[in-house]
Amino acid sequence: IIITTMVIFWLLSIMASLYLAAWTRRPVVAAFERQKSFVENASHELRTPLAILQNRLELLFQNPNATILDESENISESLQEVRNMRLLTSNLLNLARRDSGIKIEPEETGLPFFKSLFANYEMLAENAGKQFSGQVDLDENIMLDQALTKQLMTILFDNALKYTDDDGEVKISVQKLNNQLNIIVSDNGEGISDQDKKKVFDRFYRVDKARTRQKGGLGLGLSLAKQIVDAYKGKVSVEDNHPKGTRFNIRLRLEK
């Protein structure tokens, strides 16, 4: 009985240590898997515009007598693919830099920061034939990383503009509540289904790949936005806007 108990005990301790070893390695394995799928996705995303570009350029060479005007469609499509790739590579670079840790560098910020940002958004919305309204409720200056906040709000603004129709309306409201900054970005566009709401913050996730690609979407904006919010130890959520569209709620924890 003693020997059997000892053997069982010994076997149990081996199993426990094996389990412990696997469990402690889990974060390393998960990080490796994440990295691997990131590289796979990035390569895939680069392959598509490169294939289109190659195709378009080959078409250009098929007819040596054609003028630039004759080939204008091929040329402008090629240019669009080059723009897509430029955007993708700069987003990838941003994400890679962010992966090594975002450092929040707060500076004293007041109304003028938001006002000038909103003036830019108003211009961009007007150029796109859409409406924009911005509202700030701030009774005192706050400590904010202006570059990161601008990047965060611009990602959401760009999306709101991108995914609304011609009569689209984008609203941003900023409000300080205790030691939090609440930012709401809403639009009256096509909206996001409940199923997709869970995935839109994943890297490279696009609800409708073909459609968003046309709009220049690469599925990286919201994952970058989430990283910025995480660095702030804040929260970002997405819900339906009523009667139509999407609403992103952000809460940033402010430093005293």
Site residues, ligand ADP (CB under 6 A): 159-160, 163, 187, 189-190, 192, 200, 205-208, 212, 217-223, 246
Q: What is the dihedral of CA 20, 21, 23, 25, to 10 degrees?
A: 160
**Shortest distance, position 222 Cβ to ligand ADP, whole Å:** 3
> In the complex with ligand ADP, which residue's Cβ is closer, 59 or 173?
173
Residue nearest to ligand ADP (CB): 217
Query: What stretch of H or E contains 170?
Result: strand 169-177
Amino acid at the residue 47? R
In this structure, what token pair is assigned to residue 216?
Answer: 């220049």
For residues 181-217, one letter each, b for 16 or more C-beta atoms within 10 angstroms of the residue's C-beta and e for the rest, the string is bbbbbbbbbbbbeeeebeebbebbbbbeeeebbeeeb
> In the complex with ligand ADP, which residue's Cβ is closer, 213 or 251?
213
**Shortest distance, position 227 Cβ to ligand ADP, whole Å:** 11
**Shortest distance, position 95 Cβ to ligand ADP, whole Å:** 11
> In the complex with ligand ADP, which residue's Cβ is closer, 161 or 252?
161
Neighbours of 132 (CB within 10 A): 23
**Shortest distance, position 206 Cβ to ligand ADP, whole Å:** 3
> In the complex with ligand ADP, which residue's Cβ is closer, 134 or 217?
217
